[in-house]
Amino acid sequence: MEKIITGRAYVLGDNIDTDQIIPAQYLTLNPSIPEEYKQFGKYALSSVPPGQSGLPKGHVPFHTKDEFISDYQIIIGGKNFGCGSSREHAPIALAAAGILAVVAEFYARIFYRNSVNGGYLVPIESSERLCDKVCTGDELRIDLTTSVLHNLTTKEDWKLQPLGEVTPILEAGGLFPYARKVGMLKV
């Protein structure tokens, strides 16, 4: 896990559920097969309703029809990000699309744990409602050491919640690599 995460923002609102993140019809894909893993990136956020993408003038596509990787690297969400079913494919799909971190007010517990346990992306909480302050396309820098989000476009900074006890798991690349590293699993 990098201590500094940079990239363009893709802004969403409240209650982005796992079916919006990766629709159920794509759950037959196997993320352990490289060609099918790429497909998760292609279909990530394909069911987000219009008006949820952070610009008042309407929907901004997460990526074009034939791309596997998005032009965005950081998602800014509202409340209850990742709610809905407990599918672990949701953080996999975002990671396959090139998302490095999600910043939200709070998460559905299972999405948060799946993100951390798999080491797919960094889920960070914010005390402020950043989805009303950041725009899709803004250039961002997240400093995980100081827990600060810098909006390089608007020159604004916001304090984030520290990652806390999940930090060593994310640094190791997920729960199983962490367990091996600390001797909980035999190598």
Domain ranges across the chain: 4-162
DSSP state of 144: T
**Side-chain half-sphere exposure of 89, counting CA atoms within 13 A:** 27
pLDDT for residue 124 is more than 80: yes
**Whole-prediction pTM:** 0.93
**Cα gap 110→131, rounded to integer Å:** 21
- What size, in residues, is the chain? 187
The 10s digit of each residue's pLDDT in 63-111 is 877 789 999 999 999 999 999 987 889 999 999 999 999 999 999 999 9
Q: pLDDT tens-digit profile of 135-181?
A: 999 999 999 999 999 999 999 999 999 999 999 999 999 999 999 99
Q: Which CATH architecture has domain 4-162?
A: Alpha-Beta Barrel (3.20)
